[in-house]
């Protein structure tokens, strides 16, 4: 979340586009990693 705040502030300050896009993808990777960490069970569903 701190990373997302940093990206928002960098966008506001007009940082280089490459830096913003790189950090955004780092943020996305972190989100996917957290999702992977928290989702450990297989859903017991049958239709």
Shortest reach from residue 22's CB to another protein, in Å: 12
Please report how close the Cβ of residue 13 comes to another protein at its closest, in angstroms: 9
20 with 8: CB under 8 angstroms? no
The least distance separating another protein from the CB of residue 37, rounded to whole angstroms, comes to: 6
Where along the sequence are the contacts to another protein (CB under 8 A)?
Answer: 1-2, 4-5, 7-9, 11-12, 14, 17, 20-21, 24, 27-28, 31-32, 34-35, 37-39, 43, 45
For 25, half-sphere exposure in the C-beta direction (CA atoms, 13 angstrom radius) is: 5
């Amino acid at each position: 979340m701190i990373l997302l705040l940093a990206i928002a502030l960098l966008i506001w300050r007009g940082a280089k586009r490459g830096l913003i896009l790189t950090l955004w993808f780092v943020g996305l990777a972190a989100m996917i990693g957290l999702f992977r960490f928290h989702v450990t069970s297989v859903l017991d569903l049958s239709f």
